[in-house]
Amino acid sequence: MKTIKIITADDHPLFLKGLRDTLSEESDFEVIDLANNGQQALEKIEKWQPDVATLDLDMPILNGIEVAKIILKNYPNIKIILLSMHKDADIIRAAMALGIHGYVFKDDAVNDLVGAVRTVFGGETYISKDTTKKSFFLNNDNELIGELTKMEKLILREIANQKTTKQIADEHFISTKTVENHRANICKKLNLHGNNSLLKFAIKVSDSLV
């Protein structure tokens, strides 16, 4: 079993210790370093290049978003999880749109973080559940579909019907390049990654596409 190497950063010492203790209980996790501000986190992540970095969103010097942008640009293989008290859907969408792999609410961190690390290390995204709303912000399919344009919904419906890019282009009198651009925009808005993820999502929500 591969050991997952982790760096975690938070400016509250007791909370940081709690994160370290929680992660260290897992036999296949190794917390290789800690940081108490964004600049320190950036330097240690660049030095050690862990598999996963957990970053407090609101840190001094550099915040979690600022650190994440640099890491995602220069070290795309490192998985980034943000920890935050903020549960606003717009903040979460903005963070995930940058390519961040996980978003964990700090009041759920002890329960959620281990699963989040495993999920993002495995190539998927993770967002904490808001227990007050009984829903996942970015896994609410109907809410996500509402973010698409009319043409993007049409393309998604055709994908659900398992039509090829060329078939969609021919039937709607547009170029294959236009269809490809729509597909890329849909994936970006829905935060979809990996082979067949768009097709799987389209089939899943096909009944909602009107």
The 10s digit of each residue's pLDDT in 81-91 is: 999 998 877 78
* CA–CA dist 72, 78 (Å, integer): 7
**What's the predicted TM-score (pTM) here?**
0.65
* Arithmetic mean of pLDDT over the chain: 86
* CA–CA dist 90, 127 (Å, integer): 13
Domains in the chain, ordered, with CATH? 4-127 (3.40.50.2300), 141-208 (1.10.10.10)
Residue 29's contacts (CB-CB under 8 Å, 6 or more residues apart) are: 3, 4, 6, 23, 114, 117
60-115: pLDDT as tens digits: 999 999 999 999 999 999 999 999 998 877 788 788 888 899 999 998 888 889 99
**C-alpha triplet 195, 196, 200: angle, nearest 5°:** 145
* CA–CA dist 135, 139 (Å, integer): 8
* CA–CA dist 106, 110 (Å, integer): 8
